[in-house]
Amino acid sequence: MAFEFTQENVARIEAETKKYPSKKSAVMKALYIGQEQNGWVSNEVIKAVADRLEITPEEALGVATFYTMYHKKPAGKYHLQVCTNVSCMLRGGYEIYDAIREKLGITNGEVTDDGVFSLEEVECMGACGGAPMMAVNEDFFENLTKEEALRILETKK
Amino acid sequence: MEKLILPDIPDLDKLDVYKKHGGFEAAKKALRMSPDDIIEEVKKSGLRGRGGAAFSAGLKWSFMPKTTDRPKYLCINGDESEPGSFKDRQIFEFNPFQMIEGALIASYAIGARTCYIYIRGEYYKWIKLVQKALDAAYEDGLLGEKMKKTFGTDFAVEMYLHVGAGAYICGEESSLMSSIEGKRGYPRVKPPFPAQAGLWGDPTTINNVETVANVPHIINRGAEWYSKIGAEKHPGTILFGVSGHVKKPGVYELPSGTLLTEIIHEHAGGVLGDKKIKAVIPGGSSMPPLRGDQLEGVRMDADSLKEAGSGIGTGGIMVMDEDTDLLKVLWRITHFYHHESCGQCTPCREGCGWMEKIFLRMLDGRGVKGDLDLLVSVANNIEGNTICALGEAAAWPVKFMIARFRDEFEKYVGEEIKLEPADKVHSMRKTETPIAPFALK
């Protein structure tokens, strides 16, 4: 599937490169922008980022595979990130994670058949004071209970 | 007690409110001082880094070369990924301008014309808040070329946000620089230290968000005043993040040297269900845990905690009650380091995986005699044999938790080896893992 940055996103990447003495530094932001536009970081996105920043596709791919927040395959409309690290685990993070897995019938790294939800078991999100927590796309839900987490899923369709 | 970093002032995240409460007065004062005087003042204040190593901030600044034609850089480390730490995000949300002002002063002191604020990618909301604060500061002429006119000096610093993408290791300073350079976040061998060869090979200083947020107060009110707050050798207030089995988890700003028991029982409201404490990790998941009966009299500053057998780390206090299964906790911690190991150094990449497999086997009821010693041996072979401190961070919890809670773990290891004999000849082909899937109940 061909991929090309929109004019607006080209401008955003250009602006990002101005922050650094080397264009290459904008690769993380450019990958984010590509992910935002395309939904996930495909090989075509990697190629477009590399061309734009004058780096090799391998360099861009290396960055995309090192960091966990780049989706290397399509994610759901709502990407669920459930923390199960120690602080959340002590407060019931696994109960929430297991309840979501059961309800959606998917596990870590999978997408529901209708493409609405994808699930990821994540490491500490820096919300230990509000543990347990999950993030739905960019929104943090803290001090969760199992019931509350399932209710949140009901509201997302 | 006066709160220096997170004072109870509403709307302090608005620039006009921040300025009304004395904001950017310290920057004005600092820009009239010589950089050396600022470094000296910060050194005298005793300010120590809040990112984990508790290294003298003034001393770190003084390592920056004074006479060089090369550009110099300042990085503000807001990667905050240590499990149990959630303090920097409070600064991003409630007092971002104090961080910006501190970073401005630090840039001037070390001669950096460019400053990058590195924030972890998962902090979606806080990234936007900090960007908004930076935009407001630029708009008001407090940063960039316009600040020359505002402050009447010829010094100007550009301050940019660099957003991470979900790698714990990028909180390590050399890895953070690799990340800003647009590479995989691999830590680098030291020496050379960042002050000699940092970003793009140029002199660089990396400070934690909370560290620089302390600086405006030191400039405004003097090193002597600051050095009298809290513990003598580790002065100032510290943001303690309390999580786990407590009634009121949250971030509490208290003088350094506050009793750990006071933080847990008074500020954080005590243990859930008034149970007893089994273990406390006092400084984020990489610090050695303390037994519940070791907590009396332990003070929360770098030196006291070292004496007590742990470390201040990031000040993230994780409390575990008497019903906690420490094997599950230790497995989860090890799983984290296994997941976050960058993969450069064999001891860490492989060792963390081995330790995790042994923990899984123990959780599956197939622990064997000798497993505990084997774990400690693997941990010992990781510690000190890696490029960065993630090795220690992974090894310490294992070593110290087994040493201090051996009774907790012994019940998981049987006398005899219960492994099934292998039913096929060993081959390099991918075979099914011999470890049964394990589900946490």
Closest by Cβ to B122, choosing from A85, A125, A128: A125
Task: Tell me if B165 and A69 make a contact (CB, 8 A cut-off).
Answer: yes
Domain boundaries, chain B: 15-227, 233-321, 326-417
pLDDT in the model for residue B439: 56
A-B interface: how many C-beta pairs under 8 angstroms?
A: 150
Give the global pTM.
0.94
B72 and chain A in contact, CB less than 8 A: no
pLDDT in the model for residue B414: 75
Query: What domains lie within chain A, and their CATH numbers?
Result: 7-66 (1.10.10), 78-154 (3.40.30.10)
Task: Tell me if B165 and A128 make a contact (CB, 8 A cut-off).
Answer: no
pLDDT in the model for residue B440: 53
Task: Tell me if B243 and A63 make a contact (CB, 8 A cut-off).
Answer: no
pLDDT in the model for residue B425: 47
CATH of B15-227, one of 1.10.357.10, 3.40.50.11540, 3.40.50.2300, 3.30.465.10: 3.40.50.11540
Q: Residue type for B249, please?
A: P
> A43 CA to chain B: closest CA distance, Å?
17
pLDDT in the model for residue B420: 53
What interhelical angle do B96-110 and B25-32 show, nearest 10? 10
Q: What is the pLDDT along chain A (157 residues), one digit of tens a residue?
A: 789 999 999 999 999 999 999 999 999 999 999 999 999 999 999 999 999 999 999 999 999 999 999 999 999 999 999 999 999 999 999 999 999 999 999 999 999 999 999 999 999 999 999 999 999 999 999 999 999 999 999 999 8
ipTM value, please give it. Answer: 0.97
Scanning B97-126 for CB atoms below 8 A from A yields: 116, 120-125
The SS3 of residue A19 is coil
| CATH 2.60.120.10 at B326-417, yes or no | no
d(CA A86, CA B317): 11
B338 and chain A in contact, CB less than 8 A: no
Scanning A32-91 for CB atoms below 8 A from B yields: 32, 53, 55, 59, 62-63, 66-70, 81, 84-87, 89-91
> B332 CA to chain A: closest CA distance, Å?
7
Task: Tell me if B71 and A21 make a contact (CB, 8 A cut-off).
Answer: yes
Residues B158-183 pLDDT 10s: 999 999 999 999 999 999 999 999 99
A contacts of B243 (beta carbons < 8 Å): 87, 90, 128-129, 131
d(CA B338, CA B348): 8
Low-confidence ranges of chain B (pLDDT < 50): 421-431, 434-435, 441
pLDDT in the model for residue B153: 96
Question: What HEC string does chain B produce?
Answer: CCCCCCCCCCCCCCHHHHHHCCCCHHHHHHHHCCHHHHHHHHHHHCCECCCCCCCEHHHHHHCCCCCCCCCCEEEEEECCCCCCCCCHHHHHHHCHHHHHHHHHHHHHHHCCCEEEEEECCCCHHHHHHHHHHHHHHHHCCCCCCHHHHHHCCCCCCEEEEEECCCCHHHHCHHHHHHHHCCCCCCCCCCCCCCCCCCHHHCCEEEEEHHHHHHHHHHHHHCHHHHHCCCCCCCCCEEEEEEEECECCCEEEEEECCCEHHHHHHHHCCCEHHHCCEEEEECCCCCCCCEEHHHCCCCECCHHHHHHHCCCCCCCEEEEEECCCCHHHHHHHHHHHHHHHCCCCCHHHHHHHHHHHHHHHHHHCCCEECCHHHHHHHHHHHHCCCCCCCHHHHHHHHHHHHHHHCHHHHHCCEECCCCCCCCCCCCCCCCCCCCCCCCCCC
B contacts of A55 (beta carbons < 8 Å): 182
CATH of B233-321, one of 3.30.420.40, 3.10.20.600, 3.40.50.300, 3.40.50.720: 3.10.20.600
pLDDT in the model for residue A88: 97
A contacts of B80 (beta carbons < 8 Å): 126
d(CA B193, CA A84): 35
